[in-house]
Structure 1
Amino acid sequence: MADAEADAGAERTPVPLAQDLVTTGKPEEHLRTDTGKGPFECAICNKKLSSKGTLRTHLRTHTGEKPFGCTVCHKTFSSNGDMRRHLRIHTGEKPFECTLCEKKFKSSEEQRVHLRTHTGEKPFECTLCNKKFGFSGKLRRHVQTHTGEKPFECNICNMKLSTMESLRFHVQTHTEEKPFECATCNKKFRIMGYLRKHLQTHTEEKQFACIVCNKKFAQSAGLQSHLVSHTEEKPFECTVCNKRYARSVNLKIHLRTHTGEKPFECAICNKKFATKGELGLHLRTHTGEKPFECNICNKKFATKGNLRSHVQTHTGEKPFQCNICDKKFAQIDHLRRHERTHTGEKPFECTVCNKKFAGQGNLRQHQHTHRGEKLFECTVCNKKFTQPSCLRMHLRIHTGEKPFECTVCNKKFRESHHLRGHLRTHTGEKPFECTVCNQKFAIKSNLLVHVRAHSGEKPFECAVCNKKFKSSGGLRNHLRTHTGENSVECFICNKKLSQPQCLRIHLRTHTEEKPFECTLCNKKFTVSGDLRRHLQTHTGERPFKCTVCDKKFAVSGSLRTHLRTHGEHV
């Protein structure tokens, strides 16, 4: 019986609590507990602490004891201070205020870190290149640019990332998970940062009003910066190009255009940006977030600028005019791109081969030829792509999805640029002009095919008979003559043709229908190409030039025949 009681007593022996571990039994340390004077040493790891209370709190890191519970969400903490700080998440209390910009924080540590944005203090230094950082996290991420280490791998697409945070962020692009929910309106977000920014639309009181235009600001610093826009005072001057700015922060950002500095790095793809705003916009390409919605057709956009441009497709407004040829554009970017056709400027340069481009989109497309890495594979046909957006577009071929609808005739398209090209058939706009013969086109790819008529280039070759074609479409149509695929038969003479469009043109030889009429002499033609060639007999235009002897021809066929007279010189 006594043994049983002893065993029972042994089973009930509790795990030692923090207060049981405060002293080690040494007389001198016992005296310190009586006098209240430190240092107090941890009996487990020998760490020394200044008071009995801090020792008790520290010991809980060994015992795992968390005696302080949150009354709202029941999360537990090892110290009363940690619990109090946590409660501010629920109450929204921010007792620590920045004395420079009046921004408030939940903890003194957050306040200390924030102060570095004002003082410029960068206490964390890279031991490899001596670059300094204001935050330890930024230093850690930077060090990986030296080591190239990417230890975190996505188990869906095998993409490797440098931090666990980046991996979590990336995985959400596959799952479309949005774990951060606004308690006020239930809107969900993929990233805590986006939720915090959104919460300001509910909570941020704007008490600082501009006396000129009544615009309100949450912080006095914001108001002071805004006031400069009324005075037009620009006291901050660039020492390189003398451009002036109203705010020092704008000058600082501008200077990066001279230095090439891009301090804001994407944690997912390591692309760098000159401003935090540019990084924020770029991140939406990974998250797919489109917070700006058109109130006419409910289409969503990643940026406010894209929404503004889209709204003009409803209004038809074209406020941006070229001062050389008076052509008007709906967007300032389109005007800038157009102006380069006059100046020949190509400001976007490939860092690998130094090739230059007039548009940033053209540069991006070109850069894929260097990367070559194709991580994103189609589960239907196993075709691989360099970007998830390209894979998403490709999948529509299999699903038949056509999400882009014309608001005029309701025709649907797989890709937005196909819709843009189609819309020009309604507006009559032909922005792409041939520099040789000035013929205009609604779609850029049609211009590229047309230019080959001047150059004689035929990059698409039939693998069966080696015949060459100017366009991939021409090659596809030709291949049907070998395969018999999708052939259609004339019901009058039984001639077989590769596609319905060819049959429609062929039928005109039987019906003698000639729908294309010359406006100068009223002569009629079966096909539009014949009419175009005929018009050159009126204008005297000869756009096809021999590269050997400079002789000019009205039609490309005549040029081809002529080139044979040069034989080996061609």
Structure 2
Amino acid sequence: MRTHTDEKPCRCEECGWQFRTLRELESHMRTHTGEQPYSCENCNKSFSHMDTLRKHMRTHTGEKPYRCEQCEKQFSELGSLKRHVRTHTGEKPYRCEECNKQFTDSGSLKKHMRTHTGEKPYRCEKCNKQFTISGNLNKHMRTHTGEKPYTCEKCSKQFSALSSLKKHMRTHTGEKPYSCKECNKQFSQSSQLKEHVKTHTGEKPYKCEKCDKRCSKLGNLKSHMLTHNLERPYYKCEECSKQFIHQKSLKNHMKTHSGDLEKPYRCDECSRQFGSLSHLKSHMMTHNGEKPYRCEECSRQFRRLDDLKRHIRTHTGEKPYRCEECNKHFSEKGSLQIHVRTHTGEKPYSCLKCSKRFSDRGHRNKHMRTHTGEKPYRCEQCSKQFSQLGNLRRHIKTHTGEKPFRCEKCSKQFSQLVALNRHMLIHTGERPYPCDTCDKRFNDPSSLTKHIRTHTGEKPFKCETCDKRFAESGTLKKHMKTHTQKRTCTGQKPYRCENSSRQLGGGFVLFK
């Protein structure tokens, strides 16, 4: 009858809670005494209540007696089923009295309430950092222990958090479960969707304290702050002057200079070492020629999924990365980051030979080859070697005659996309490259570079015969002819044919 009358005659003398039956009170008292009389025979773990032991046993047996009638998913606990059913009904019975936000279960409400109270009851014994939920403390502890209990079955990469493994798995499956309601674009991570939604809403939550400019991303705000030339109390790399917000980031970066990055995975073909098994597997494809990712538009194949995704944008024209300074769009995040440095003036990469500085690592590496003479890229048709991969690709088209890029205005075709883009400026009249000294504008970067030399007086092209210097390579070539003409006029014949011993002047080609 007490279930109808709400009568609770049994009272706990420790905390004042009241119960309907003596058995309920006895069970409750164990929370004070710590008594755990029910023990699991499989793992010897002990529990204060029989019901808790029964639930625990299902972790060994795998039993899931509670089934969802909507989607057939099964659960080991009734409470888990009830919470799951609310994902179908949309029911959120637990409401925060502070902000009216609603939740499907009481546990989520309790966690949320700590965002208002600031309560962080879980503390790390190593560094005293505190957390609002125990799960976050457990994840944090792995930063001290280095434990990575979650392993990817595809590539053996290990993770410290289950959520990180789930995100990583999508790189293999291609799954994109997060969809934008405005344009139906899909994303593999919820954080990517949140950033994308701001392009529709125009939301810019990050504000510059100097000029009140607002940015949609924290990273964009940090880049913008550099335009104010603020003193950065950050951590600076003494090797290349690159700066970091966190000391840990600097330490990781320093390993790129010292070579201390742990690289336990070694290629049996060329002995090159890698920091992860996935990077080794990707590298191995350069030896076996495997290209498992194929473009459905043009049938071109790629070694990596990321390379295919970037390539697809050349067909779709999609440029999802936008510069907040000038609204220019880019198809790759890396291209945007390099572009932003044209606004900030940041040049973090320095040449070790001549101290010339560059805004991206790739340009620095290309420049270094002008000192070393290294030409690592070789044409398989004619064995000609090149210092840059782009130059090799352009050269190969001289063999194939391929011109895949076509102008929609005049139907002229080009072997390179950059050549098409330059050509398009003839139609649009656009001159996007300005001179900082005199504001004259140019339609391609090479013309700007040549023009800048009229201000600096730089003459990087030198005649090996008379040491005269020139601002452009074309002018040097014209000058070289003056030496061959002089030889013709004076009768000088410095070249000898090996077959006939005949002496020749300039302007001849010797055939063997």
TM bin, normalised by shorter chain, reads 0.5 to 0.7
For the 8 Å contact 2:178–2:189, the answer to whether it is kept is: yes
The number of residues matched between the two structures is: 389
- Give the aligned partner of residue 559 of structure 1: none
- Give the aligned partner of residue 441 of structure 1: 475
Aligned match for 1:306, one of 352, 359, 363: 363
Q: What is the alpha-carbon distance in structure 1 between the residues aligned to residue 375 and residue 453 of structure 2?
A: 20
Aligned match for 1:129, one of 183, 190, 204: 183
Q: What is the alpha-carbon distance in structure 2 between the residues aligned to residue 292 and residue 85 of structure 1?
A: 35
For the 8 Å contact 2:120–2:130, the answer to whether it is kept is: yes
For the 8 Å contact 2:236–2:250, the answer to whether it is kept is: yes
- Give the aligned partner of residue 295 of structure 1: 352
- Give the aligned partner of residue 259 of structure 1: 316
Unpaired runs of 5+ residues, structure 2, are 1-14, 29-48, 53-77, 84-92, 478-485, 491-512
For the 8 Å contact 1:236–1:247, the answer to whether it is kept is: yes
SS of 2:194 mapped into structure 1:
helix
For the 8 Å contact 2:453–2:471, the answer to whether it is kept is: no
Considering only aligned residues, what root-mean-square deviation do their CA atoms show, in Å? 6.3
For the 8 Å contact 1:424–1:442, the answer to whether it is kept is: yes
Aligned match for 2:224, one of 170, 178, 184: 170
2:174 aligned with 1:120: yes
Q: What is the alpha-carbon distance in structure 1 between the residues aligned to residue 204 and residue 408 of structure 2?
A: 26
Q: What is the alpha-carbon distance in structure 2 between the residues aligned to residue 147 and residue 279 of structure 1?
A: 21
Aligned match for 2:283, one of 202, 209, 226: 226
Change (3 A) 1:339 1:288: farther
For the 8 Å contact 1:320–1:332, the answer to whether it is kept is: yes
Change (3 A) 1:214 1:143: same
- Give the aligned partner of residue 155 of structure 2: 101
Letter in 2 for 1:108: L
Percent identity at matched positions? Answer: 36
2:481 aligned with 1:424: no
For the 8 Å contact 1:262–1:272, the answer to whether it is kept is: yes
Q: What is the alpha-carbon distance in structure 2 between the residues aligned to residue 41 and residue 235 of structure 1?
A: 49
Change (3 A) 1:71 1:384: farther
Q: What is the alpha-carbon distance in structure 1 between the residues aligned to residue 264 and residue 377 of structure 2?
A: 37
Q: What is the alpha-carbon distance in structure 2 between the residues aligned to residue 360 and residue 420 of structure 1?
A: 31
- Give the aligned partner of residue 551 of structure 1: none
Aligned match for 2:253, one of 174, 198, 208: 198
For the 8 Å contact 1:68–1:80, the answer to whether it is kept is: yes
1:166 CA displacement: 2.4
2:297 aligned with 1:243: no
SS of 2:352 mapped into structure 1:
coil
Letter in 1 for 2:461: R
- Give the aligned partner of residue 144 of structure 1: 198
Q: What is the alpha-carbon distance in structure 1 between the residues aligned to residue 425 and residue 211 of structure 2?
A: 22
1:179 CA displacement: 5.8
TM superposition score normalised by structure 2: 0.53
Cα distance per residue 1:370-424 (max 9 Å; x no partner): 699x9xxx9xx9x9999xxx9xxxxxxxxxxxxx9xxxxxxxx996785685223
Q: What is the alpha-carbon distance in structure 2 between the residues aligned to residue 121 and residue 212 of structure 1?
A: 33
Q: What is the alpha-carbon distance in structure 2 between the residues aligned to residue 361 and residue 84 of structure 1?
A: 52
- Give the aligned partner of residue 467 of structure 1: none
For the 8 Å contact 2:242–2:348, the answer to whether it is kept is: no
Change (3 A) 1:335 1:223: closer
Change (3 A) 1:117 1:178: farther
For the 8 Å contact 2:459–2:469, the answer to whether it is kept is: no
Letter in 2 for 1:309: K
Matches within 5 A, 1:396-475: 421-424=458-461, 441=475
Change (3 A) 1:173 1:107: farther
Change (3 A) 1:420 1:295: farther
Letter in 2 for 1:96: Y
Unpaired runs of 5+ residues, structure 1, are 1-21, 391-403, 405-412, 434-439, 444-517, 523-570
SS of 1:102 mapped into structure 2:
coil
For the 8 Å contact 1:167–1:268, the answer to whether it is kept is: no
Q: What is the alpha-carbon distance in structure 2 between the residues aligned to residue 72 and residue 281 of structure 1?
A: 39
Q: What is the alpha-carbon distance in structure 1 between the residues aligned to residue 96 and residue 209 of structure 2?
A: 44
Q: What is the alpha-carbon distance in structure 2 between the residues aligned to residue 104 and residue 146 of structure 1?
A: 36
1:278 CA displacement: 3.7
Cα distance per residue 1:319-358 (max 9 Å; x no partner): 9999xxxx99976767999999xx9x9969899xx9x997
Letter in 2 for 1:300: R
Q: What is the alpha-carbon distance in structure 2 between the residues aligned to residue 315 and residue 218 of structure 1?
A: 27
Cα distance per residue 1:153-190 (max 9 Å; x no partner): 54656655334542233213433655664899998634
Q: What is the alpha-carbon distance in structure 1 between the residues aligned to residue 321 and residue 219 of structure 2?
A: 16
1:222 CA displacement: 1.9
- Give the aligned partner of residue 64 of structure 1: 118
Q: What is the alpha-carbon distance in structure 2 between the residues aligned to residue 41 and residue 140 of structure 1?
A: 25
Q: What is the alpha-carbon distance in structure 2 between the residues aligned to residue 79 and residue 109 of structure 1?
A: 15
Aligned match for 1:207, one of 249, 261, 264: 264
TM superposition score normalised by structure 1: 0.49
For the 8 Å contact 1:172–1:190, the answer to whether it is kept is: no
Change (3 A) 1:521 1:331: same
Change (3 A) 1:279 1:191: farther
